[in-house]
Structure 1
Amino acid sequence: MRGILADTVSEMVDRKMVWVYSGVALLGLLAILVTRSVEMQFQTEGLNMQAMNELWSPRLWLYNKFMYYMVFLSVLVTAGLIPNMLSKGRVDFYLSKPLSRRQHLLTKMAAVWMVYGGLMVLIMILVGSVGAWAFGAVDTGLGYIVLSNLLAFFIWLVVTTFAGVWSSSAPMSILAVFLMWILQQILSWHDAFSELIDSPFWGKLVDVFYYVVPKTIEISEATLRLAGGNPVDWMPFYTSVAFALVLMYVTVFMFNRKDY
């Protein structure tokens, strides 16, 4: 585990990802300062920010959106890691180690999740600390935002790993992410589609697809409600986790059967 973890860290450093995430952290800090400036302007004009925050918390929304886009960035920059591991010559190096194929794949996935997820957590701690100083308040809901987005990152990592094992291609892994994201957008309107479709069979099929496909977009929306202390529909969470676990099993099975 430590060897694969060290290899993943080395890949991140070699690809200059530390500088990329440093730039992202800087953008987050600038967003905090801009939001604080806007809030001060509202207070100067006599607007009641407390009343506004009861309906919608700009800070929590900002934190959630910021980490949502960090997850999106992390999914894109890690999409090629599994295909790279399976490239000719490199896969022989990995498979020569005294580990089963299943252990190799799961350990690599865990290493990617830990390294890039840990980097996102560090950035959120920095941004949250500056936000607490700027706004004079600690947002306790920030922990829910971090945990939920790490879960979303895990789900996307399973999708890119499946595409990477199936195709051994980084572009195909990225394409799989965009196709899944588009499918999520379409299926979020499944109730409207069911009403428009006359056939009960096709209407039920749309509903089945809605419950099967992961719902990271809805998880992000539910996370904001959770962080704000509002009631949450947990269905997007457990159906998405179930999808990820099943797809991970299929990916391991496929990896064990492939000839490298």
Structure 2
Amino acid sequence: MKLLAIIQLTFRESWAKKTFVAFFGLSTLVCLLFIFALNLDIVDGLKSSVSLFGKEIPELVEIRELVLGIESALAVFLFTGGLFMSLFATSGLITSFLRSGNIELIISKPLSRFQILLGRYLGAVSIVAFNVFYLVLFSWLILSIKTGIWNWGFLLSGIMIVLTFAILYALMTFLSVVINSAAFSLMITYAILFFSPLLLQRDRIYALLSGKIYGVLLDGLYYFLPKTTELADITRLLVQGSAVTSWMALWSSILFGIFMFGVSSYIFSRKNF
């Protein structure tokens, strides 16, 4: 119950800052778009004519191909734009409760520092999870009811997106506790998102490097940091119902998140306020 109180406090702060409202409003807008702007006329049970905002696409489209295309596009949008917006919107939640005046009041409560930090972390993850699952679930229901195609893999994309956010937010939590700067922690996290595709293509970069040590460094960064590019690819494969050949990117990224939060908790528990 004490942990739940910290999570509720985080929700209330997000609501007061209109962060939660903005998330929810954008998610609702996308759902309304699917309800009113996208019209499908099923032909022979296999193909469909498509109209968006009243403008009809001249070609008939395979229904399953259409559904997978729309759901894949939405999953990609949530994984890229959704993650960027979520990280930006929640970047200040750790540093705000570390402010002088706030933190002294919070740590005076009968809670361990681990519970305090975990509650704040889970509060931020819960805010994002609520909005992601709200958008994924309702858009899935709308598309499935309209087309009769129930693609369960699309629901798994919501889990992947929330997991990826939780992993990246563990890094932001660590940086916020150490540096106490929301802007700096956000920039570092964005940088990892930006460099993830480059680290995946590190074999091509080796030829440009003058020393073997740089190749070892690149390999070290690749295996240590969260592999967001591969996580995005796993998300796409789940939506499309394709086989995932390797889960290494997922479990190694989860281990990174656990490690970052563990270090954050240790530093926070020993910090003087």
Same fold (TM over 0.5): yes
1:170 alignment partner in structure 2: 182
Q: 1:215 aligns with which of 203, 224, 227?
A: 227
Deviates more, 1:195-204 or 1:33-42: 33-42
CA contact (8 A) 2:137 2:155 kept: no
Deviates more, 1:190-199 or 1:77-86: 190-199
The structure carrying a bigger helix percent of its residues is 1
- Residues 174/37 of structure 1: CA separation in 2 closer, same or farther (3 Å cut): farther
Equivalent residue pairs, number: 258
- Structure 2 distance, partners of 1:167, 1:235, is 31
Q: Structure 1: where are the runs of 5+ without partners? A: none
Partner amino acid, structure 2, of 1:259: N
Partner amino acid, structure 1, of 2:192: M
CA contact (8 A) 1:67 1:124 kept: no
Partner amino acid, structure 2, of 1:8: T
Q: Structure 2: where are the runs of 5+ without partners? A: 42-47
Residue 84 of structure 1 deviates from its aligned partner by: 0.3
- Structure 1 distance, partners of 2:163, 2:21, is 24
Q: Does 1:15 align with 2:27?
A: no
The structure carrying a bigger strand percent of its residues is 2
Residue 44 of structure 1 deviates from its aligned partner by: 6.8
Residue 63 of structure 1 deviates from its aligned partner by: 2.9
2:236 alignment partner in structure 1: 224
Q: Does 1:133 align with 2:145?
A: yes
- Structure 2 distance, partners of 1:143, 1:95, is 38
Q: 1:40 aligns with which of 49, 63, 67?
A: 49
Q: Does 1:182 align with 2:225?
A: no
Partner amino acid, structure 1, of 2:73: L
Q: 2:88 aligns with which of 61, 68, 76?
A: 76
CA contact (8 A) 2:164 2:231 kept: yes
Q: State TM-score, norm by structure 2.
A: 0.84
Residue 66 of structure 1 deviates from its aligned partner by: 3.4
Residue 80 of structure 1 deviates from its aligned partner by: 0.3
- Residues 76/46 of structure 1: CA separation in 2 closer, same or farther (3 Å cut): closer
Deviations 1:109-134 (A, max 9, x none): 12221233123212222222222233
Query: Any idea what SS the aligned residue of 1:40 has?
Result: strand
Deviates more, 1:76-85 or 1:198-207: 198-207
User: Percent identity at matched positions?
Assistant: 24
- Structure 2 distance, partners of 1:227, 1:206, is 31
Query: Any idea what SS the aligned residue of 2:241 has?
Result: coil
CA contact (8 A) 2:227 2:249 kept: yes
- Residues 255/230 of structure 1: CA separation in 2 closer, same or farther (3 Å cut): same
Q: Does 1:124 align with 2:136?
A: yes
Q: State TM-score, norm by structure 1.
A: 0.88
